[in-house]
C-alpha cells in the first residue's frame, strides 16, 4: 500500500501521525503523495477545528473522484463525535480511534468504525515528519485542569505522564538522528508527573544531563504550574530556549474564576514580573479568549490594558466557541458573534503594534537563526526564539544551507518578520 497522511491541528497530533506512519511503514507500506490510501488525522477541540477537519475530508473526497483511493479518518474528530460520523461522513471508508494507533496496520484494509476506551501509549522509533533540525517530543497525554470552556479532557482523557526514562531514551534517539531543536510538548507540560511524584524541572534536569549541541523549547506552560525553580532553570540553562509560551486566556478575576483557571490577576502580574526581572531577554507568548460568556466592556478594556502593560512578544487570540458538553456552554451572558469578532480584532490590532515595536528593539543584535527553506527569492526560516508554524519568519541574506542553525545579525524588522544577515 502507498499512503499519504494529512495531519491537522496541534503538534501533538503531528507526533501521533508520526507513530501511525512508522507503524504502517514497518509492515512494508510506503509513504507517498502518489498513493492509494489517504489518512486524515483530525482536530476537533473547537467548532472551527472540527469544521476544518470535515472540509478537508470532503475536499479529499472530491480529489479522489474517478479513482479508487481509500479514505481513512482518525484522530480527535473520531474521539469527540464517535459513531455519529458514520452517517455524517459516508464518504470515508474507515474511522479509527486513537487507541487503535498501535495496530492501525491491521485495520487499514477494513471498512467501518473502530473506537475503544483506554490509553494510547507512545513508543518509538517514529517516522519524523518535520525537517531537520526540528522535532517534537511529547512527554504527556491528556489534562486534569478541566477549564470550563475546554473539550480536551473529554477527547484525550485525564493526565498521563510518560516515564523519565522513556522520554530520555527517545530524546537521545532524536539527537542521534540529527535533530537539534527539540520542542517539548504536552497539553500542559508544567503538570508533568504530578500524579507520579515527579515534576517538569526534574525531567528537564534529567534531559540536560545528556551532553550535546541541542536546544530545548518548552511549549504550553500553564501559569499555575510556573514556579521559581522552573524559572531559575530556564534562565540559567543556555540549552533551554528563552521562549515561554504561557496561555493566560484572560486577565480579569471574574472571568478567570468562571473559566476555572486556578489563578487571579495578581498571580499573573507577579509571574510576568518575576520572568521579566529574572530573564530580561525572555520571549513571552500567550493566548487569549475573547468574548467569554459574561465578559463586560470594562473587563475587556482591562484585558486590553493588561496586554499593553506586559507587552507580549507574540500573542494569539480565539473568539470564544460555545462547545457542547462544556460547563461554559450553559453559562448565562453568551455574547453575539459580532461582539466576539470585534473584540478579537481589537486585541490583534493592539498586539500587532506591540510585536512590531518589540521586534524593532532587536535591530543590530546577533541572534541564532534556523534555516528552513526558500521564500520569495530569499533563504528563509525563523529565529530560535520563534516557534515552528505559529510565530513570524526570517528572511536571510547571505550564504546558508537548509537545516542549519546559524548566527545572524538583524538588519530590518517588519510587523511580525525580520531580515537577517548571516
Instruction: State the pLDDT at residue 61.
Output: 87
pLDDT at position 63 over 90: no
213 pLDDT band, cuts 50/70/90, is very high
CB proximity list for 36: less than 8 A, separation 6 or greater: 1, 2, 3, 68, 69, 70
CB-based contact 369:384 (threshold 8 Å) = yes
Least confidently predicted of 19-23, 102-106, 228-232, 260-264 = 102-106
Instruction: State the pLDDT at residue 107.
Output: 93
Mean pLDDT of 227-252: 97
Domain at 134-360: CATH architecture: Alpha-Beta Horseshoe (3.80)
CATH 3.40.50.12160 fits 2-114, yes or no: yes
CB-based contact 376:395 (threshold 8 Å) = yes
pLDDT at position 241 over 90: yes
Which residue is it, cell 480527535? 76
**Three-class SS of residue 386?**
coil
Mean pLDDT of 303-316: 97
Instruction: State the pLDDT at residue 125.
Output: 81
**Three-class SS of residue 391?**
coil
pLDDT at position 66 over 80: no
Q: List pLDDT tens digits, range 79-135.
A: 999 999 999 999 999 999 998 988 898 999 899 999 988 777 777 789 999 999 999
Counting every residue written for the chain, the total comes to 422
Mean of pLDDT over the chain: 94
pTM across the whole model: 0.94
Q: d(Cα 132, Cα 129) in Å, to the nearest integer?
A: 9
DSSP state of 249: B
Q: d(Cα 42, Cα 228) in Å, to the nearest integer?
A: 37
Q: Which of 28, 55, 38, 42 is nearest to 93 (CA)?
A: 38
Instruction: State the pLDDT at residue 416.
Output: 85
Is residue 197 classed exposed, middle or buried when 0-12, 13-18 and 19+ CB atoms within 10 A define those classes?
A: exposed
Q: List pLDDT tens digits, range 149-182.
A: 999 999 999 999 999 999 999 999 999 999 999 9
Q: d(Cα 288, Cα 315) in Å, to the nearest integer?
A: 8
Instruction: State the pLDDT at residue 68.
Output: 76
Q: List pLDDT tens digits, range 318-360.
A: 999 999 999 999 999 999 999 999 999 999 999 999 999 999 9
Residues of the chain with CATH 3.40.50.12160: 2-114
65 pLDDT band, cuts 50/70/90, is low
CB proximity list for 217: less than 8 A, separation 6 or greater: 181, 182, 183, 184, 240, 241, 243, 387
CATH superfamily of 366-421: Nucleic acid-binding proteins (2.40.50.140)
pLDDT at position 1 over 70: yes
CB proximity list for 412: less than 8 A, separation 6 or greater: 363, 418, 419
* Orientation of helix 200-208 relative to helix 228-236, angle to 10°: 20
Q: List pLDDT tens digits, range 266-289.
A: 999 999 999 999 999 999 999 999
Q: Count CB atoms within 10 A of the CB of residue 397.
A: 15
Least confidently predicted of 13-22, 99-108, 241-250, 364-373 = 99-108
Amino acid at each position: 500500500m502507498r499512503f499519504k497522511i494529512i495531519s491537522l491541528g496541534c503538534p501533538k497530533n503531528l507526533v501521533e501521525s508520526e507513530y501511525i506512519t512508522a507503524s504502517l511503514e514497518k509492515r512494508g507500506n510506503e509513504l507517498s503523495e502518489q498513493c492509494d490510501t489517504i489518512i486524515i488525522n483530525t482536530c476537533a477541540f473547537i467548532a472551527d477545528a472540527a469544521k476544518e477537519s470535515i472540509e478537508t475530508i470532503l475536499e479529499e473526497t472530491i480529489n479522489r473522484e474517478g479513482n479508487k483511493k481509500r479514505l481513512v479518518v482518525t484522530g480527535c474528530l473520531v474521539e469527540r463525535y464517535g459513531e455519529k460520523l458514520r452517517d455524517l461522513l459516508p464518504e470515508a471508508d474507515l474511522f479509527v480511534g486513537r487507541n487503535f494507533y498501535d495496530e492501525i496496520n491491521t485495520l487499514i484494509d477494513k471498512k467501518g468504525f473502530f473506537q475503544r476506551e483506554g490509553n494510547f501509549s507512545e513508543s518509538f522509533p517514529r517516522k519524523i515528519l518535520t525537517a531537520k533540525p526540528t522535532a517534537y517530543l511529547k512527554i504527556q497525554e491528556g489534562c486534569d485542569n478541566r477549564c470550563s470552556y475546554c473539550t480536551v479532557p473529554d477527547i484525550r482523557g485525564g493526565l498521563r505522564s510518560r516515564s523519565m526514562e522513556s522520554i530520555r531514551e527517545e530524546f537521545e534517539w532524536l539527537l542521534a538522528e540529527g535533530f537539534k531543536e527539540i520542542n517539548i510538548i504536552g497539553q500542559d507540560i508544567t503538570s508533568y508527573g504530578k500524579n507520579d511524584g515527579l515534576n517538569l524541572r526534574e525531567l528537564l534536569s534529567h534531559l540536560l544531563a545528556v551532553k550535546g549541541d541541542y536546544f530545548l523549547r518548552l511549549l504550553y506552560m500553564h501559569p499555575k504550574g510556573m514556579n521559581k525553580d522552573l524559572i531559575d532553570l530556564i534562565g540559567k540553562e543556555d540549552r533551554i530556549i528563552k521562549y515561554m509560551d504561557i496561555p493566560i486566556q484572560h486577565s480579569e478575576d471574574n472571568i478567570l474564576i468562571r473559566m476555572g483557571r486556578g489563578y487571579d490577576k495578581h498571580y499573573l502580574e507577579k509571574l510576568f514580573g518575576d520572568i521579566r526581572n529574572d530573564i530580561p531577554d525572555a520571549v513571552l507568548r500567550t493566548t487569549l479568549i475573547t468574548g467569554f460568556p459574561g465578559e463586560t466592556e470594562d473587563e475587556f478594556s482591562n484585558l486590553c490594558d493588561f496586554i499593553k502593560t506586559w507587552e507580549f512578544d507574540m500573542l494569539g487570540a480565539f473568539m470564544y466557541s460555545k462547545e457542547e458538553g462544556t460547563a461554559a456552554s450553559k453559562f448565562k451572558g453568551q455574547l453575539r458573534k459580532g461582539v466576539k469578532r470585534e473584540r478579537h480584532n481589537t486585541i490583534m490590532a493592539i498586539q500587532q503594534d506591540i510585536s512590531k515595536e518589540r521586534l524593532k528593539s532587536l535591530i543590530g543584535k546577533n541572534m541564532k537563526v534556523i534555516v528552513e527553506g526558500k521564500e520569495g527569492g530569499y533563504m528563509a526560516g525563523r529565529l530560535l526564539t520563534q516557534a515552528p508554524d505559529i510565530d513570524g519568519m526570517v528572511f536571510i541574506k547571505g550564504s546558508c544551507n537548509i537545516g542549519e542553525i546559524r548566527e545572524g545579525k538583524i538588519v530590518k524588522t517588519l510587523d511580525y518578520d525580520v531580515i537577517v544577515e548571516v
